[in-house]
């Protein structure tokens, strides 16, 4: 599953049925969710580090 850095929270219908809200920060999401966020809504960028990878969930940055 891809990791994206979300700049603005958004709602996404996972599987077309269950609506979930994707929060601002670094998120691990489905391929389709990443495509919608990056290509269609333009509210996220590819990449980032999850906290368990040594990143800061809020900004997508590593240790400061």
Map out the domains of the chain as residue ranges: 3-53
What lies within 8 Å, CB to CB, of 56 at 6+ separation is 26, 49, 62, 63, 64
Beta strands 10-14 and 25-28: pairing type? unpaired
Give the confidence band of 63 by pLDDT, cuts at 50, 70, 90. Answer: very low
- C-alpha angle 48-7-58 in degrees, rounded to nearest 5: 55
What integer is the mean pLDDT of 27-36? 97
Nearest CA to 10 out of 44, 56, 58, 57 is that of 44
Give the confidence band of 60 by pLDDT, cuts at 50, 70, 90. Answer: low
Distance of CA 15 to the CA centre of its chain: 17
What integer is the mean pLDDT of 17-26? 96
Give the confidence band of 50 by pLDDT, cuts at 50, 70, 90. Answer: confident
Give the pTM: 0.78
């Amino acid at each position: 599953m891809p990791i994206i850095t979300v700049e603005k929270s958004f709602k996404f219908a996972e599987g077309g049925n269950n609506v979930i809200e994707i929060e601002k920060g670094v998120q691990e999401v489905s391929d389709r969710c990443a495509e919608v966020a990056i290509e269609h809504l333009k509210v996220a960028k590819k990449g980032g580090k999850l906290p368990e990878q040594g990143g800061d969930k809020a900004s997508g940055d590593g240790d400061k």
